[in-house]
Each structure stands twice: as structure tokens, then as C-alpha cells.
Chain A
Amino acid sequence: MTDKIKNPSDATGISRRTAIKTLAVGAGVVATTGTIPGLLRPNQAFSAEPIRIGFQVHRTGIGAAYGRWYDRTTEAVVKRINDEGGINGRPIEIVAEDDGTDPKRGAEVVEKFANQHKCDIAFGTLFSHVVFGSAPRAGELKIPYFVVSEGHHVASGKLNRYTLQPGITDVKSQVEAMAPFISENLGKKVTMIYPDFAFGHDHRDYFSTAFENQGGTILEKIAIPPTETSFTKYFPKIPRDTEVIYHVMVGPAVLTFVKELGEFFGPSRPEIFGFIDSLEAVDMASPGLEFLDGTYFWEGNPRYAQADQTEFDKAYREAVGVDANGASISDSKDVSTYAHMFGCWETLYVVKAGMEASGYKGPEDRQKLIEAVESMSEMPHSFEHPQGAKLFNGKTHQAFGHQYISKVEDSKLVLAHTTSIEDTLYEDEVDYTKQAF
């Protein structure tokens, strides 16, 4: 009788084989966007045991473009540190695992670093939901987790003592630091256009408060549903007396957004200010982006080599393999995520400094490492910190630094303003040093 039982999918009227083939083809398409990864092996000249750093990287999923450049930056900084003698005379060995830009897989990867690969620390990831999904496990497994995420999650106090963000500033400080520049240079009446999910909400909340404190007015807050592909119907909501449009759209529809915005306003547009997150890894000379000429962008680190380029940026850019236009030196169409990826470079130098200060020998010294990093404060502009000087807050586990505002001129981003670090500071929301290990 059992043999007579039909395959249940038959009863649904759906061909099981068809369903599986469809799924498999989809999986194949997703998979072929990936690349074959490999461990970054330490320099063979070292005789000491390597320091194993688990690198949680977005190789697949929506964060793959970021992951590709985080990968290259990490490879470059590890080579440089190892060439300089490693950490306490020990080479770094990177153990990279793809988190799929997924919080469940992210947590699994952290477990793998701690319990299977026996890594000394975990490091890397960008997307906030992956950090949120992984950080509890890092805390439970007592493995230091250095994130390069720019989310406010660390400084908000929602994570734990084992999670730190010393190599990149957070979105709250970035957004709040933009308010004085916009208020003084672009206009006092702002309309905000942002995606209707957490990233957009952070901008809405932090910027509107900071801007109103500068005496400005938010005329309208236009939230765009995340599934939206056409934006024309939202533009009539922009009040006529708007002086500045603040936009933070992200995702594949960004080009459509800019194109439709250009068609809506024509030659007479208000001032426009955006976050480069919208166009990370996108060529500024892409068709449809001409409308952005003369508009302003926040940049975590200027993509284009500036006229007064520092020796630090020059060395960093060369090491990572990025040309003066922010693209790969081997492929000018492969545009980097320059505003964010420096965080990998700087974070690993913080790890090196922390391990050396604490005399780190192995996992039994993890708490000493965290205490050493917590005791850090000023990080001067240097080869180790090519994006600029930083101020690290050991209580909130968060770094603060200069922010850059660039103007689009002839499809290039030209630095127009650099904020002070003081512009980016806000009151502490947590003191992790009071939490027990």
C-alpha cells in the first residue's frame, strides 16, 4: 500500500520535478554570481603560529558588492601587516566565510570561527541585520567581534561587550554631522526622501532632529516602500518651497530614482544632498546620473583622489588596487565601495595595536584585548588610519571621525567640505565597560 502512495506534490497539481528544477536553476543563477574564495595564507617567512582572524564576509546576497571590496581591502591590509612583521611577531591568517548577507548564516559563521576554526577573533561584516543576528552568539562564545558596519547598533547599547566598531563611524554621527553644512550652505527648508525601512528611518530620525536644532525645518518626510520601482508619483509630494532635497535611496532602483527626479525637476531644481550609499560601486558616469551634477554627497572616504591627496590615501589606494577614480586598477568598470571599505583596513590595525598593547598570546587573552581596545582614544591620521583621524570611545565601543561632503562636478566627486570630529559626537548611550565579561 505504501508503494501506491503518490508523491504529495503530485496531489497539488504541481510537477515536483518542474518545481525542483526551477528552484535549482534559480540557485545556480545566484551561485554563479559568486567567486571561488580561498584562505589568505600568512607569509611563509614566519615561524610563529599565526593569529587566526575569522573574516565574516558578504560574498553572496545583497551585500556581495560590498563584500568583494571588503575582501580585497582585507587581503591588502593583511599583506601589509604581515610584511611589517605581523602582530607580536606572528603573522595574520584570515579565515574567510561567506555569511550570505543573512543573519542566521552570520550567526553560524561566528560559531564556526569560535568553535571549529579556533579563530582568535571574528571581524568584518557590514549589513546591520547580520551584525544583529551574529553579535549575541559572539557574546555567548566570548569571541571579540570587530564589525565594520557603520550601524548605530554598537553605540546604541543593544549589543554586548564583545562587539566593537573601532574602524568606521556610525550612521548617527554621520547623519548628525551633515546638518550644520546643509543648514549653512544649501538651505533651511528640507524635504527628505528615504526608503521605508530601518536604514531610512535612522536618517529620518537622526537628521530631522539635528537639522531642527540648527534652526532648519523639515517640510516633508517622504517614505518610499522598499519594493517600489518607479518614483514619479511621490515627487508631487515635494513642497514647492523646498530648498534642499535630502535623499538616501539604496538598491537597484536608485538609477531610476535619479532619472525620474531629473525628469520631474528639469533644469530648475532645488539643492540636492544625498548619501553615497545610494551609489556605492556605481560609476558616477553611468547614463542617467547627469542630473546629479552640482549636487552634494556624504562620503565616508572620498572616492576620487583629490588634488590635495594625502600620502596615506595614496598608499592605501595603491595597496588595495584602486585607481584615482575609485575603480579597480585592473577594470575601470569595477567601481569600489570606497566610502566604507577603509573600515576593514583601519579595524585590523586597531586589532594589531590592541593585541600588541595587551601582549595577546591566545584566546585566553581575549578579555585583555577588549580592555586594551577600550582604553584607546586618539587615532591619528596615518598609514594605519588613511581615512582620517579617529576618536575612539571605549565606553560605547564606537569610533568617531571626520566626514566628507563632496560635490558632483563633471561626473566626479570633488571634496567640498570636511567636518570636524566634534561635529560627529553625541552623548553616550551605553557604557559597555561596566558589563561583566
Chain B
Amino acid sequence: MSTSLKSFLLHVFVLCLLAVLYFVVSEYHSGNLARILVMAVYAMGYNVLFGYTGLLSLGHALFFASGMYGLGLSIEHLGLSAAPALVVGFISAFIVAAVIGFLALRTSGVAFMIVTLMFAQAGYLTILLAGKYTRGDEGFVIQQGDRVIAGIDLSQADNRYFAALLLFGVCFLFIAWLVQTRFGKTLVAIRENPERARMLGYDIQRHKLLAVIISGTLAGAAGAAYALLFGYAGATFSTVQYSIYPLLWVLLGGAGTTIGPLIGTVFMTYLIDISSEYTSAYMLIAGLALILLTLFAPHGFAGLIRKKLFSWLP
């Protein structure tokens, strides 16, 4: 069996498993999974930049918030219905990612981290300062009646789950395809040795910019989906902690693997959910998990699986 066929079957299997899980697990866990799928899209977007291109951003919350507010504000103030508002959310993230990418990619390494962090902080403050429209830190509710697409009420548990799964599935398969293309392999080449990639004739700046745009747009798609499916848009989602989360999810799950972001998001969500029942020091437990993982599985769960079991894992 060829590697690409194995990869295809793995991705289809994961999607089928997620579809079946809705009918198997309790209502609480299916609700959790819906949110995890949305946040996994965010992590997958982050992974395109960090895992495949080798660029560590500390400002991805800005892209997430761009999608969230693109959708939320167009419903709240322009009176758009959910479907066009969703498109506005995607486009907002696309534009913000293109502009930030164009500017931030003039730097690299630590400077790139700092610049993306600063842009995200500027975005957060902009949301606060535009409080007349955004309701600042408080945020605003997207009413149930505004969360309907083609007659499907996305505030209903089943509709929400399968809408989240649809978005996740599209992004999951897109990234699985992307990393097999020449473009995807070039990103990996840039990650491994940018100078050699440049010497071979690749326009690495252009590739990096495209990676930022794809990554940011996926993050924004997750933000728009969160607002649409869970009915809330707020400035908290543009704070630095929401830039750190996808980094943690990707590190835990396995950077540079297509399935790693999902694993990392599931693991981290349930680690916090379960440990918070026993202690409010649950972030200490999350920190310990990270340290242990660094010591014993430095490439994350999926990286470990790839190393020990399935070397073909994309």
C-alpha cells in the first residue's frame, strides 16, 4: 500500500471515527468534542506555520479574533445573515493575515515572535478601544436566531457538532493534501534549511507569506466558527493566552504532523477538564505534562507514533 493511500485512509478513518463518536459518547463529551474540533482547526492552522514552515508566531490570536469579529460584527452591525457573515469572517482573517505576514516576514526567529506578539497586542487594544462597536472586553452575544444557515439552526447540539466536523474535515483533508504537494514539501524544505531552499531557487519569502496567509485564514475560520456555533465574540480570544494555546496543542500533539493538532487539542482540553475537578492548580498539571512530554516524547504524541510505529504518518 502506498504512503499516500495509507495517509488518505488514515484521514478518512479519523473523520469517520469522529462522526461515530457523536452517537456513542455522552451529550457532555459530544459538546466538548464540537468545541475541540473548532479549536483543532485553529491548531491545524498554527501547525501550517509552526510545524511545517518553522515559523513560531506568538500572535495567532489576532487571526482567530479577525475571523470571530468579521463574522460577529457583520451580524451585529450590518445585519448580515450567518452564511455571508461567515464568508466575511474568512475574508477578514485572510486580509489581516496577508498584511501581518507581509510586514512580520521582514523579520525572522525571535524577532518574528516578538513582532507577531506586538501585532496581536495591538489588535487586542484596538478591539478594546473600538468598544462602541465591539463591546470591548465584555464582548457580545450572537443571538440564536442569527445562527442559522440554510434553515439549519447551528445552536442545536447535533447541527453544531456536524457543522464543526464539516469544517474540521475540510481543513484536515486540505492540509493532508497540501503537505503532499510541491508547495507543502517546499515549506518543509524551508523549515529544514532556508538557505539551501533559497540556493535551489525557491522564493522562500513568497512561500512563507503564503504559509502565513493559509495559517491565518484557517485560524480565522476557527474564530468565525466559534462565534457562530457557540454564540459569543469577545476580546479575550485576542489575548496572548489564546496565542499560546495553539502552540501548546501543536507541541503536545506533534508539530509537523497532520493529526497532531487534533491529538494535542483533545489531550490538553481533557487534561484541564479532568484535573480542574481536583485542583485549581490545573495549569501546574498541564505544565508538568509538557515537561514530561519534552523529556520522553519531544516530538509530541504523533511524532512519537511516527518514530516508533508508522514512519509514513504525514
Contacts and interface: CB of A to CB of B under 8 A. Distances in A.
B14 interface: no
A370 B55 CA distance: 52
A268 interface: no
A102 B236 contact: yes
A420 interface: no
B284 A129 contact: no
Could you say which of B232, B255, B312 has the most chain A C-beta atoms within 10 Å of its C-beta? B232
A140 B255 CA distance: 36
B2 interface: no
A54 B283 CA distance: 22
Interface in B80-123: 108-110, 112-113
Contacts, number: 197
Contact of B306 (A2, A97, A105): A2
Contacts of B279: 34, 36-37
Interface stretch (A18-26, A321-329, A387-395): A18-26
A196 B128 contact: yes
Interface string B272-307: 110011111111111110110010001100000011
Interface string B48-74: 001111111000000000000000000
Contact of A129 (B156, B191, B236, B255): B236
A129 B125 contact: no
Interface stretch (B136-144, B166-174, B214-222): B136-144
Interface string A10-50: 01111011011101111110111011110000000000000
Contacts of A60: 280, 283
Interface residues of B, number: 76
Interface stretch (A108-116, A183-191, A285-293): A108-116
Nearest to B128: A197
Label chain A's interface by main secondary structure.
helix
A303 to B, nearest CB: 26
Interface in A194-216: 196-199, 201
B230 interface: yes
Contacts of A76: none
A36 B282 CA distance: 10
A31 B284 contact: yes
Contacts of A402: none
B172 to A, nearest CB: 19
A153 B138 contact: yes
Contacts of A105: 272
A230 interface: no
Given A13-B109, A28-B283, A198 B256 contact: no
Contacts of A20: 251, 290-291, 294
Q: Which of A9, A36, A37, A201 has the most CB of B within 10 A?
A: A9
Contacts of B286: 27
A395 B294 CA distance: 55
Contacts of B291: 20-21, 24
B136 A24 contact: no
B203 interface: no
Nearest to B232: A133
Interface of A: 2-3, 5-9, 11-14, 16-17, 19-21, 23-28, 30-32, 34-37, 59-60, 97-98, 102-105, 107-108, 111-112, 114-116, 128-129, 132-133, 135-137, 139-140, 151, 153, 158-160, 196-199, 201, 225-227
Nearest first, the 5 closest Cβ-Cβ pairs linking A and B are: A34-B280, A136-B231, A11-B54, A31-B284, A24-B287
